[in-house]
């Protein structure tokens, strides 16, 4: 889940919880709103953790190996 989806779930949950005063038989809209907000917060946390893990540089214990490349000029070019 991305950041945009998480923010959308948070907003939709807040609207259902705090702004809608309707009732549907057998369904509590406030509870659905709270569940959507919880899913949005969880999605934001997980997305942040994944993005932070990707941004860490890959550390290697081995030094970078440098090689010197020399061009040979004693060979005649092909005809």
Q: What is the DSSP string of 30-48?
A: HHHHHHHHHHHHHHHHHHH
- How are the residues of the chain apportioned to helix, strand and coil, as percentages rounded to the nearest 5? 55, 5, 40
- pLDDT tens by residue, 2-14: 899 999 999 999 9
Over residues 34-79, the pLDDT tens digits come to: 999 999 999 999 999 988 876 666 666 676 777 887 777 777 767 7
Q: What is the pTM of this model?
A: 0.64
| Residue 17 DSSP label | I
Q: With CA atoms as reference, report the closest residue to 12 among 34, 28, 27.
A: 34
Look at 25 and 60; give whichever has higher pLDDT.
25
């Amino acid at each position: 889940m991305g950041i945009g989806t998480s923010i959308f779930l948070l907003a939709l949950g807040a609207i259902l919880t705090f702004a809608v005063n309707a009732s549907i038989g057998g369904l509590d809209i406030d509870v659905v709103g709270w569940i959507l907000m919880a899913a949005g917060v969880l999605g934001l946390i997980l997305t942040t953790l994944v993005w932070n893990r990707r941004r860490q540089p890959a550390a290697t214990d081995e030094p970078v190996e440098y090689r010197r490349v020399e061009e040979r000029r004693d060979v005649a070019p092909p005809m």
